[in-house]
């Protein structure tokens, strides 16, 4: 299966700071990456779709100015949570469009 | 009504038992069905991937899809303590290139 890595695996930050999460495809080129979010005891929900070289598309209810996505190369997509607040605490997971059955290991964000 | 319904459990069974996990869905356009296993604080791991109605077996795992009833199942035979995890069903309309719609997940504990 596809190998996808995420960094960091977990992060704790103070309210108001920004956090960048990296998602890398290690053995293939990903023109599109899906970003999911999973709150405790909830299912994975699609947040946004990043596209290499163009703007990301966001699902309804997800603030594009708060969750900045950059897909600068075919192997790297980043999600930046700007001015994070406690309600942004969640598990963020990426999945390449070309191999949508496979997911990165996830990044757990805790905002204090 | 949510697109995918899954009983969150928790489900507790003795070692060696047969486990039955289920999901129902409302969108008849779904054609691809997946089961994932997710350990605490980890990304989901693909267990089974099936297309349309029918059964698929892989070792101790059997996936069943009944599109007429919009009902899918995962059976685990000879369950082991290492099977203790959250099991998520997921589905999509197309193969690849589209994000998945997930159930909430069922938390399973297999007691030695």
pLDDT of B55 above 90:
yes
Tell me the three state secondary structure of residue B35. strand
Tell me the three state secondary structure of residue A88. helix
Asked if B41 lies within 8 A of A10 by C-beta distance, the reply is: yes
Q: Tens of pLDDT along A45-61? A: 999 999 888 889 999 99
Give the closest of B43, B99, B104 to A105, CB-based.
B43
pLDDT of residue B8: 86
Beta-carbon count within 10 A of A60 CB: 4
Q: How far is Cα A81 from Cα B22, in angstroms, rounded to an integer?
A: 35
Place of tokens 């504990």: B109
Report the candidate in A39, A51, A27 with the shortest Cα–Cα distance to residue A86.
A39
Contact A38, B104 (CB under 8 A): no
Q: Tens of pLDDT along B71-104? A: 999 999 999 999 999 999 999 988 767 889 999 9
Nearest chain B alpha carbon to A44? B102
Contact A94, A103 (CB under 8 A): yes
**Residues B42-58: what's their mean pLDDT?**
91
Quote the percentage of chain B above a pLDDT of 70: 98
pLDDT band with cut points at 50, 70 and 90 for residue A1: low
Distance from CA of B81 to the nearest CA of A (A): 21
* Alpha-carbon separation of residue A81 from A56, A57, A106, A111 (angstroms): 14, 16, 15, 11
Q: Which of residues 51-90 of A touch B (CB under 8 A)?
A: none
pLDDT of residue A98: 72
pLDDT of residue B97: 73
Contact B53, B66 (CB under 8 A): yes
Q: Which residues of A touch B90 (CB under 8 A)?
A: 44
Asked if A100 lies within 8 A of B44 by C-beta distance, the reply is: no
């Amino acid at each position: 299966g596809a190998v996808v890595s995420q960094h960091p695996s977990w992060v704790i930050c103070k309210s108001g700071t920004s956090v960048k999460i990296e998602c890398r495809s290690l053995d293939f080129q990903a023109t599109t990456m899906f970003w999911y979010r999973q709150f405790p005891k909830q299912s994975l929900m699609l947040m946004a779709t990043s596209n290499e070289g163009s703007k990301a598309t966001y699902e309804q209810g997800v603030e594009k100015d708060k969750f900045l996505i950059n897909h600068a190369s075919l192997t790297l997509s980043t999600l930046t949570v700007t001015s994070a607040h406690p309600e942004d605490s969640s598990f963020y997971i990426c999945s390449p469009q070309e191999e949508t059955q496979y997911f990165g290991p996830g990044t757990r964000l805790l905002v204090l | 009504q949510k697109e995918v319904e899954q009983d969150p459990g928790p489900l507790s069974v003795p070692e060696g038992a047969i486990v039955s996990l289920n999901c129902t869905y409302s969108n008849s356009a779904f054609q691809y069905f997946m089961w994932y296993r997710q350990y605490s604080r980890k990304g989901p791991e693909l267990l089974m991937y099936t297309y349309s109605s029918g059964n698929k077996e892989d070792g101790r795992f059997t996936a069943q899809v009944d599109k007429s009833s919009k009902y899918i199942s995962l059976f685990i035979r000879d369950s082991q303590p290492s099977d203790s995890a959250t099991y998520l069903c997921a589905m999509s309309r197309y193969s690849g290139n589209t994000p998945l719609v997930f159930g909430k997940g069922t938390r399973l504990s297999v007691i030695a």
